[in-house]
Amino acid sequence: MYITIDLEATCWDYKKGENETIEIGAVLLDKDNRILGEYQTFIKPKRNPVLSEFCRQLTSIRQQDVDSAETFPQAFNKFIEWAEKTADSSLKNITFCSWGYYDKNQLIKDCQFHNIEYPFSTHRSLKHEFGKKRNIKPPGMKRALQICGIELKGAHHRALEDARNITKIFIAEKMADYTIIP
């Protein structure tokens, strides 16, 4: 099984501190590339609770979206519960896929900051696998969609919509059948 995860995090138009996840979007697939479910949640940031203007414009996430959200430990726990219940399996048996390494590294940082065990045992950077398979420099998600002839759906830099688009690339490129690159 595979879970495509995309995160949105606090950000600035200049470097200002540690990023924190403010939105999780995920699409869960079985081994035959059937979509079992989708998930989206906002997360209230702890270190920088006020979103920058840059972040709000980039992601279209509103301050009230994160103000009314749960903190990372509660939101992440609910996400894990959803994934395991929907997959009828432990997260240890589900391959975490993302477009590049940012999402994995951000989850690791958030887990460390909140003293939570990072739950995934396997991760695949679909961006790098796509580049290697196509023998090109790993492209951004929008460019990969163009290469595949797939229309970008939804707002870019929104977690669930990006996870859906990444999943379309995964399915179109038959990446479930592709040899995992270490």
**Backbone phi, then psi, for 15, in 5-degree steps?**
-70, 125
Q: Domain of 57: which CATH number?
A: 3.30.420.10
Q: Is residue 109 part of a domain?
A: yes
Cβ-contact 3, 28 below 8 angstroms: yes
Q: Is residue 145 part of a domain?
A: yes
CA quadruple 27, 92, 141, 116: dihedral sign: positive
pTM equals 0.94
Q: Is residue 47 part of a domain?
A: yes
pLDDT in tens, the chain (182 residues): 999 999 999 999 886 778 999 999 999 999 999 999 999 999 999 999 999 999 999 999 999 999 999 999 999 999 999 999 999 999 989 999 999 999 999 999 999 999 999 999 999 999 999 999 999 999 999 999 999 999 999 989 999 999 999 999 999 998 877 765 55
Q: Is residue 182 part of a domain?
A: no
Domains in the chain, number: 1
Domain interval for residue 126 = 2-177
